[in-house]
Amino acid sequence: MAPGLDFSDWGAMETRKGTPVVVKMDNPNYSVVEIEDPDAAFRPVEKSRGKNAKQVTWVLLLKAHRAVGCVAWMATLFWALLGTIKKRLIFRQDVGMASEKLGKGKLLFTVIKAFLVISLTILAFEIIAYFNGWHYFQNPSLHIPRTSDIQGLFHLVYVTWLWFRADYIAPLIQALSKFCVALFLIQSADRMVLCLGCFWIKYKKIKPRIEGNPFKSNDVEGSGYDYPMVLVQIPMCNEREVYEQSISAVCQLDWPKDRLLIQVLDDSDDESIQCLIKTEVATWNQRGINIIYRHRLIRTGYKAGNLKSAMSCEYILAYEFVAIFDADFQPNPDFLKQTVPHFKDNPELGLVQARWTFVNKDENLLTRLQNINLCFHFEVEQQVNGVFLNFFGFNGTAGVWRIRALEESGGWLERTTVEDMDIAVRAHLNGWKFIFLNDVKVLCEVPESYEAYRKQQHRWHSGPMHLFRLCLPAIITSKIAIWKKANLILLFFLLRKLILPFYSFTLFCIILPLTMFVPEAELPVWVICYVPVFMSFLNILPAPKSFPFIVPYLLFENTMSVTKFNAMVSGLFKLGSSYEWVVTKKAGRSSESDLLAAAERESKTTNQLQIQRGASESELIELNRLKAAPVPVKRVNKIYRKELTLAFLLLTASVRSLLSAQGVHFYFLLFQGVTFLLVGLDLIGEQMS
């Protein structure tokens, strides 16, 4: 029932007390006074009793002037804040770069300017109206609404809103919320099954093992009899920060030199970076490492095109396996000895995937949250699928492929930005099996800035949906078992790549905030509290040191669903950003092996003149200049305030649903308004940066 809004008793006096007394005086010079209360005669006269219409006009005009002036002052302050941000950006970067980026927010600044102009116009109109005497009280034909009329109008509007909200808005939200809750429970059940499978693997100590000793004990120098031919590829593009440590780590792999070839596949368009990489390759080549440098003239297809071009060389026919490492990956020297022997006596094995570990996982809050997700991905998803299904998505790096498996599956294709998942699906459809080695770890980096992380997540969530559109006919017509087709379509693609970002965005970023304004569609406590917290605990189990960050992890993952949902939609419907590839920025963090090899790199620098005997003096001067070029100072980029603010927005909506019965709904609505204001301010700051 709608609350009553009868304000007629607000201005009423207290309950009348005492006995009315009437005093009459015979003297006609005195008036008749009626005393209803002993203190009535001594009460002060109401201040508004002696006011006329002109005084009320003055008061109203002054209040209007103050209100408009306050709005104009706020707009001026806001504009000054934006100007300060703009100056900081111009001082920090080139003026041309700042103007180019500020052009993206042209529409936003146009709206702000229009708001400021309208505010000043209203203020000027009020001043002119006052000095010209255009007071609405002096217009006899103008109807002045009474207080009761205004109250009745507000009451009618409020009752109409309640009726419309209960009959039309709430049922739609409830239907959508029930659908999303069902998807949420299905996805939670899938996570539970994966976690139970991981516990079973730990309990039974199930893991791939190498039978016997694959190498001869007397083959210390590496005669090559038991060592297959291995090709190592390092695809990179403008990787100034990490190229040296990556090449150094790969060149120190413990494998016979005559059975190993390293390809540095450089797609850089910066000539200075090309020169540095060429010099690094020449340095290791002088040390007896079989390493070559390749650069494409026509850079098409991103990483897939780079790998495809490298595999087209004739000398590849002599090699049986290929190991792939991205530019920031630093394998241990025994990597090949821990992975390649698994292929022996296992002709159906096509891929051996190693686990990632991160040198900068404790750099900031963003890297800690990424470590939680990736630890669950490798420890639970990849390991369980590898043990029970012999299939999982190739991670694109830190893996060894059988070259024949790549060739029979169609090789590298340039049709999507997730070429690693593409080749894994096609190899699975051709009957090849995969092995995941959770004990073999390769050092790498995670993005330290939110911008780099957001672009990486966009590619990781748009590519699978684009690939699903392309692979669906091949999956349906393939000759694999029905349960494998169902696993690919229902679990691998739909549930984990489409349903997860859809329900997370819809349920926690749309429906949950809407319940603050439509309480009839409130979500149950177990949906917004108990189940998400329990699932977050399961996600954090593979990284137990991250338990203090469970609340930021839960909130940030929900807010990141906006980016993931946008990427999923762009990939599913093949929008313009579905084929967008931006190289993830690296910071060049050093591993322990790099620190131990610091002295060796120093000696390499001193012996550079002897290594580059064929170079002219001018070339050596230019090389030294490139080496001595100052590395750009890394900006400390924590999580953007927008993401944390939106996270607290969701937290507020959750708490309000628990405390709405205590009558604190208004305060949470007020906090919501302030939160939305902060989000808007930070969006402006993001557009300008």
How are strands ordered across the β-sheet holding 230-236?
A: 291-295, 260-266, 230-236, 321-324, 399-402, 349-358, 433-444
| CA distance linking residue 162 with residue 168, whole number of Å | 10
SS3 419: helix
Place of tokens 């999507």: 416
Q: What's the one-letter identity of residue 578?
A: S
| CA distance linking residue 434 with residue 394, whole number of Å | 9
Active site residue 94: no
| CA distance linking residue 491 with residue 496, whole number of Å | 6
Q: Which of 179, 183, 177 is nearest to 518 (CA)?
A: 177
What single string gives the DSSP state of each residue in 339-386? HGGGGTT-TTEEEEEEEEEETTTTSSHHHHHHHHHHHHIIIIIIHHHH
For residue 90 the two structure tokens come to 């111009």
**Continuous segment of H or E residues that includes residue 460:** helix 450-477
| Residues in a beta bridge with 324 | 233, 399
For the chain, state the CA radius of gyration.
Answer: 35
187 contact partners, CB below 8 Å, separation of at least 6: 495, 496, 499, 500, 503
CB 489, CB 473: distance < 8 Å: no
Q: What is the DSSP letter of 212?
A: S
CB 553, CB 387: distance < 8 Å: no
- Of 266, 326, 328, 420, which is the active-site residue? 420
| CA distance linking residue 94 with residue 231, whole number of Å | 43
| CA distance linking residue 511 with residue 472, whole number of Å | 31
Active site residue 334: no
277 contact partners, CB below 8 Å, separation of at least 6: 236, 243, 247, 264, 266, 268, 293
CB 277, CB 293: distance < 8 Å: yes
**Continuous segment of H or E residues that includes residue 593:** helix 592-596
For residue 52 the two structure tokens come to 């006329």
- Of 267, 326, 328, 594, which is the active-site residue? 267
SS3 406: helix
**Residues that are catalytic:** 267, 420
